Structures are given as structure tokens and as C-alpha cells.
Amino acid sequence: MIDYAAARAVAAIVRTGSFERAAAALNVTPSAISQRVKHLEERLGAVLIERGTPCKATDKGLWLCRHMERVGVLEKELMAHLPGLSASEEAEQLVTLNVATNADSLGTWFLKAIASFTKATDYLINVAIDDEDHTADWLRRGRVLAAVTSLERPVQGCRAAPLGSLRYQATASPDFVARYFPNGVTIEAFERAPALTFNQKDQLQTAWARQAFGRDLQFPTHWLPSTQSFLEGSLAGMGWALNPVQLAAEHLARGELVELVPGEIFERRLFWQINRLAADQLAELTQTILAVARRELGQPLAPFR
């Protein structure tokens, strides 16, 4: 049988980052938390927590945390039908849902969706950020229950539904264009003009260049790891960047940004994937995500695969 008191301790440590904060969250002493984790690790013969600042779960610890996350979702459903069970201290713990998304979705539409969901429920949300081509790995590894991803095919054990497409424009400030493209956006000039890139996983700029010029190109780049810094860096004349159309539109209209190649829109299709074991209990989350995506990305609702 699973020692749920110990499993909750592990999950609380990972969620809060320390034994002390986990103890406060569970209303027990740090010593009690430490003993619970120690006994469970000895029983399993595996380390579940990487001690440090903050404390992190090992791979085995992550699987336990995700199990406890699903247990919490199921308990909330049970208590809705049997409210008398919620009298116990442990049952009253709020449930944190772990989800992953790409930075551009968070900066344009995803935050609106999860904010709407949290207003209607008492769930807490922990959002992890990664490239949309890699968030599916978080699902495979059991690190999150759901993710916004570019992967259309359902991850094993998950359901998938289309969200629509994030649309991007390659934009830069007028002074940047005057400096690097005085004779137009030629391939030679383009390969000298610095871009803005999110991180080493980010291939959007390369993909746009291939679409615009018909072949792979090499160009220098600055590294700016946030959607907002992309926009601000473009406005400041630091480099050219692929900015979501929702964020670039106002600045284009005012002439603060210009398109490198007018009308050359790059689209990235996105999908919502959620663990099958939690999909029914979290139907409201999925409905909210799909509804906001339909409004913001222009995607008609489609059934899960």
C-alpha cells in the first residue's frame, strides 16, 4: 500500500522547494516531513528528493508527484459528492496542477485561459515554460499533466486536440532596417543582420528565413529568453525578431516596427494534450483552454484524439 502521508510530503517538498515550507503547508514539523521522506525512500530503495536550494524531485520522485497530483484531482471530485470527507486536514489541501506551455502562448493567450479557470475553481497552477517542440517531453516524463505542444499525435496515455496557430511576423525597428537593409532585404544583407533568439531550442527564426528565402540561411543572433524582451528588443533596434501578430500589431500600426518581408506570415500549429487519467476530472480546464484558443487563435473546436 502507498504511504500517502509520505507521498504528500514528497509532493509538498517539490511544490514548495524546501522541507520547511512543505512542513508549513502540511501543518506538521520539518522533522516529521524529513522522517516521512526518509522512510519512504528506504522502503523504495530509491532517492526521491534531490536536496538543495530549491529541493527537486528525481525522476522517480516526479512520477510519485504526478501520481499525487492525479490523486488530488480525484479526491476533489469525490468530495464534491461526499463533502463530509473534507473534514480531514489532509483532504483540505489545495491541488496544484502542473502544466507546460511555450513562452509565446503564455505571453499572448494562455494566461487568459488559466486565469479564467482559476477564477472558477480553487485549483492552483504551476506553469512550466519550454519550446513548443519540447513540451511533449514533459508529458512523456510525467512532469506535467497537460501541455501546449506542436505535436499533433497524442503522447502515449494522453488525449490531444487542436488549438489553432500562433501567427508570427518578422519585425524590426525602422532604424534597424535602414542600417542593415538600405538596399532592401537581400540574402546578403540578411545574413549580416542580427536576429533575436529565445534559446538554443528556438528554431522559429530559421524556419521563417527558410520560408521567406527558399533555403536555410545563417545569421548572427542575440539571445533574449522572454517574449516581452523580443518585442522590446525589436523596438529598441537590437535585432529583428519573430513577434506574435497580437503583440506586433499596435507597433506596426504606429510605425514603431516594420515587417522585413511584408505579408510573410509564419504559422506554428499548436495542440492541447492532457493525461487521459485526469482528462475527465479536468474537463473544465480543457474547455476553458479550447474556448480561449478558439477566440484568440481562430481555431474551431475539435474533438479529442
What is the per-residue pLDDT for 301?
54
What is the per-residue pLDDT for 94?
80
Beta-bridged to residue 57, according to DSSP, are 49
Q: Residues near 191 by Cβ (< 8 Å), separated by ≥ 6?
A: 217, 218, 219
What is the per-residue pLDDT for 289?
96
What is the per-residue pLDDT for 73?
82
Torsion on CA atoms 286, 288, 292, 293, rounded to nearest 10: 0
C-alpha cell read off for 249:
500589431
Q: Say how many CA atoms lie within 13 Å of 33 toward its Cβ.
A: 23
pLDDT along the chain (305 residues), means of 10: 88 91 91 92 91 89 85 77 61 80 95 96 92 92 92 94 95 97 95 94 93 95 93 96 95 97 95 92 94 84 57
What is the per-residue pLDDT for 59?
87
At the topology level, CATH places domain 166-268 in D-Maltodextrin-Binding Protein; domain 2 (3.40.190)
pTM above 0.85, yes or no: no
How is the chain split into domains, by residue range? Answer: 166-268
